[in-house]
Structure 1
Amino acid sequence: MSQRTLISPAQLARPRGKIVYWTVFAVVVTGFTLVFLGPLYWMISSGFKDSQEVVQTPPTWVPKSFSPGNYSHAWEVMDLSTLLLNTLYYAFGALAFQLVLDVAAAYSLSRLRPVFGKAILGMMLATLMIPATVLVVPQYLTVLDVPIVQRNLLNSPWAIWLPSVTNAFNIFLLKRFFDSIPQELLDAAAMDGASPMRVLWSVVLPISRPVLGVVSIFAVVGIWKDFLWPMLTLPDPSKQTLNVGIYSLSNGVPVNVLIAALTIASIPTLLLFLVFQRNIMSGLTAGGLKG
């Protein structure tokens, strides 16, 4: 049985149908391209303009005064190398904790089936309905004076790592993927004498690379784009992240240099998406069907 579409194959085979189809297709693709790439082009081109041209009205689409030195000036004045290294340190530290603890939580809920496992999963998913801003105050008070150990974690990477570990969405994503793994495969490993930890390490993790890649990208991007929490917990300028550092130094910097710094700050996440976009889509759809 043929699939139903907006335009039947007979109409599409006619010359008029082809013209209408390709015209609509070109308009839609061009429109979406301008919507998504327009702001990106404006940001990159504004980094090459001087301070007067970048604020003039109406704006110029092509820089009249081409100044590539704005990017090198922004790199030196705002000390972007230090901010970039700080952000990478926080991001990959959070990634390591999430991969270890979230995978363990998802695997236990999926395969070890603990008592009240469904209730625990339901309470985890319920936290997704709580706005992140509501948790800022209790999290800050906890970081300010951690219970039991009585330690202040301000200006410490632990203030960034610990709140990012328990990510309910990543745990649910991993659990759905682990649920789709055939039980016969795990039973065969168990019959060969493999412990649950060995099954996880030697069987489950090697075939879970797509979803692990998605979780890794989400973890890195989540730390990279976060602003409010690092601003509260990292008051020391030498330990701030990229977004917070640029914001702190933005008052005494020309607008064109500031835009150049923002462009540099957005390049790593753009490259991460362009390189791993197939992994993101395959990982998000993985586990949707069992078998």
Structure 2
Amino acid sequence: MWPIEFNLDAYNNLIRDGQLIVAMKNTVIITLVGTALNMLFTIMAAYPLSKARLKGRNVMLMAILFTMLFSGGLIPNFLLVNTLGLVNSYWALWLPALISAYNMFVMKSFLEGLPEELEESAAIDGASEFTILWRIILPLSKPVIAALTLFYAVGWWNSYMNVLIYIRSTDKLSLMVKLYQMIDLVSTELLRGEGVLQAVITPESIRAAAVVFAIVPILCVYPFLQKHFIKGVLLGSIKG
């Protein structure tokens, strides 16, 4: 039950062939681009929908709410992505998930709580809607932006099923898919008894090393967003 000595053999077995480093790079690309697109479209949708003067606002909100309750299903989504020629491309991951309806409603609720007088004063001074959004709304929305950014980023970092469905090339796989494949492969080798490794490394140690390898990057980012994250979640929940 107790380890005999401290060693990093489990980590060495995970990264020895370099495939995990490639998967890490792929996941960083998927996460950065996906999160940036998510936040861009979430803000662009939430800002106008937070204005009561927007014509057809209630109809659009009901249409977005409908997508939270019902979806097209896995097979229609795959057929659509395949028809667009996006299979084995990261765009097959990004385009269908450009915006989360739930996160958009959280952002909208936060923006509705901002004083309208700020926008009216800026408009009187000749500021355009884009200027108001960029120079007034976004700086005041840092807490909720930080919270939603972390939500989106964690979702992309942990992406598994969509990568498994849409990505065919092994050199484009995400970290989670590659970790699962490597855990399964190493566990099989250990069960067969590959030399002296069986006495040192167990399948459980490989799984534990894989979990640590996957969560450390997120843990490194979280402290920088913690203050805004907690405030953003509380504000979003209260005003929602």
Q: Place the TM-score, normalised by the shorter chain, in its bin.
A: 0.7 to 0.9
Contact kept in structure 2, 1:78 and 1:246, CA below 8 Å: no
SS in 1 for 2:208: helix
Contact kept in structure 1, 2:144 and 2:233, CA below 8 Å: yes
Instruction: Report the AA paired with residue 29 of structure 2.
Output: Y
Percentage of matched positions with identical amino acids:
30
Deviations 1:177-236 (A, max 9, x none): 110110001100000000111111111011111111111111111111121111001121
Partner of 2:83: 145
Report 1:114-263 matches (<5 A): 114-130=54-70, 135-146=73-84, 152-254=85-187, 255=203, 256-263=205-212
Cα offset for 1:121? Answer: 1.2
Partner of 2:217: 268
Could you say if the C-alpha distance between residues 168 and 121 of structure 1 is closer, same or farther in structure 2, counting changes exceeding 3 Å? same
Contact kept in structure 2, 1:102 and 1:167, CA below 8 Å: yes
Partner of 1:12: none
Cα offset for 1:167? Answer: 0.8
Larger radius of gyration: 1
Contact kept in structure 2, 1:179 and 1:287, CA below 8 Å: no
**Is the counterpart of residue 81 in structure 1 residue 81 in structure 2?**
no
C-alpha distance in structure 2 between counterparts of 1:226 and 1:236, whole Å: 16
Cα offset for 1:73? Answer: 2.5
Contact kept in structure 1, 2:35 and 2:156, CA below 8 Å: no
Q: Which runs of 5+ in 2 are unaligned?
A: 188-202
Deviations 1:230-252 (A, max 9, x none): 10011211001011112233332
Could you say if the C-alpha distance between residues 288 and 70 of structure 1 is closer, same or farther in structure 2, counting changes exceeding 3 Å? closer
Partner of 2:197: none
Contact kept in structure 2, 1:102 and 1:170, CA below 8 Å: yes
Partner of 2:195: none
Structure 2 length-normalised TM: 0.85
Partner of 2:6: 66
Cα offset for 1:109? Answer: 0.4
Contact kept in structure 2, 1:75 and 1:261, CA below 8 Å: no
Cα offset for 1:258? Answer: 4.2
Which of these residues, 229, 232, 237, is aligned with residue 283 of structure 1?
Answer: 232
CA RMSD between the two structures: 2.1
Could you say if the C-alpha distance between residues 287 and 166 of structure 1 is closer, same or farther in structure 2, counting changes exceeding 3 Å? closer
Corresponding pairs, count: 223
Cα offset for 1:274? Answer: 4.6
Contact kept in structure 1, 2:142 and 2:228, CA below 8 Å: no
